[in-house]
Amino acid sequence: MRLFELAAVAAYGACWGSFLNVVVWRLPREESLVTPRSRCPRCGKAIAWHDNIPVLSWLQLRGRCRGCRKPVPARYPLVELATALLTAALWLRWPGRPLWAAAAAVCAGALLAVALIDWDTFLIPDELSLGLVVAGLLVSPLNPYMDPGPWGEWWRAPWWSLRGALIGFFLGWGLAAAGEWWLKKEAFGGGDVKLLAGIGAWTGGVGAYDALLLGSFLGAAYSVFLLARGRLNRADPIPFGPFLAASAVFNLFRLLPFGWPLL
């Protein structure tokens, strides 16, 4: 029964990942997420339901469109698989909290979409960053990171979520202002600031601070790697959203003690 339950949860995650592929493709292009139905980006042929089963359809068709036989990027099944694994892992991480685990899986998927869009376009859509702020406030009574007080008052959780969003926003805003003053150019984009607010709404001020530190470390390590390989110049920008998003997903599993001043 436990294995069947986990398989069902993973299937839910894979379906969520399939929708995220639509979000990643259409949102930067300002297209509707609902209509028209999914189509091959090469030949424009609508994809039948039996060819749109997460991961399995791509494998069955050997990574090609049924209509034009052109290759379908491996990113699509990888996003579906990654979301399925994240959803299952969050279900295992938070036993006895099914509603929170489901909400955290939605958050993790949205962060994955943020990472991919920012990687492709150097933009973080407000629909995702500000959407995370609103969603974090709405689900805060379920959130184990939000302090309900000694008597379990549910109404205290939205305050802690809002506090985390504000801490995240002002941390990002302060870093952006300091970087622009010191470097005379944008060092921390407005999309990153709003994303940090969204992270704070879900994981509190500690989570926002942790994500900023861990994301900075990951971004610096990646930059050093590219510089050492000669694939990046010092003046070349890299998107910071993917590293913030990765750190925030980690926060959904566990908070590190980096943000202890904000406890």
Please spell the DSSP secondary structure of 11-54, one letter per residue. HHHHHHHHHHHHHHHHGGGT--SSSS--B-TTT-PBPPGGG-ST
- Sole residue written with tokens 């300002």: 30
Other CB atoms closer than 10 Å to residue 171's CB: what's the count? 23
List the chain pLDDT tens, one digit each, 263 residues. Answer: 578 888 999 999 999 999 999 999 999 998 888 888 888 777 777 888 787 889 998 999 888 888 788 888 899 999 999 999 999 999 999 998 999 999 999 999 999 999 999 999 999 999 999 999 999 999 999 999 986 655 556 678 999 999 999 999 999 999 888 877 776 666 678 899 999 999 999 999 999 999 999 999 999 999 888 888 878 777 777 899 999 999 999 999 999 877 656 55
Q: Measured in Å, how far apart are the chain's first and last C-alpha atoms?
A: 39
Identity at 77, one-letter amino acid code: P
* Cα separations in angstroms, 28 against 120, 121, 158, 194: 9, 8, 30, 17
Report the chain's C-alpha Rg in angstroms. 20
Question: What span, in angstroms and rounded, lies between the C-alpha atoms of 240 and 206?
Answer: 19
Amino acid symbol at 26: R
Distance CA 43, CA 207 (A): 44
How wide is the angle at C-alpha 262 spanned by C-alphas 259 and 263, nearest 5°? 95
Look up the pTM and report it: 0.91
Tokens of 118: 């920012």
d(CA 172, CA 176): 6
Q: How many Cα atoms within 13 Å fall on the side-chain side of residue 23?
A: 23
